[in-house]
Amino acid sequence: MSFDVHHNGQAGKPAKQTLRVVHDFPAEVPVTDAVLDVVEAFLGAQLLAILADTPDELPDVAAPE
């Protein structure tokens, strides 16, 4: 399939984009011990998997519910 493309040989300037980050979180976000336990369990299992030399050494970790 062929396409006929016609242009004057000059590339147009790309549109200037500006990004603005906005958040509406409060200054302090409370984190409970239960949340920390979940994060620690997940990241701990991931770290063990990354540090394992071979796939046979991967720990058996239960999937989160």
Domain ranges for the chain, please list them. Answer: 31-65
Coil, helix or strand at residue 44: helix
Task: Report yes or no: 59 and 48 within 8 Å, Cβ to Cβ.
Answer: yes
If you compute the radius of gyration of the chain from its CA atoms, what whole number of angstroms results? 26
- Distance between CA atoms of residues 29 and 38, nearest Å: 17
- DSSP letters, 2-62, are -------S-PPPPPP----------SS----HHHHHHHHHHHHHHHHHHH-SSGGG----P
Residue 20 is predicted with a pLDDT of 86
- Residue 50 pLDDT > 90: no
- Residue 63 pLDDT > 60: no
- Residue 19 pLDDT > 70: yes
Structure pTM?
0.37
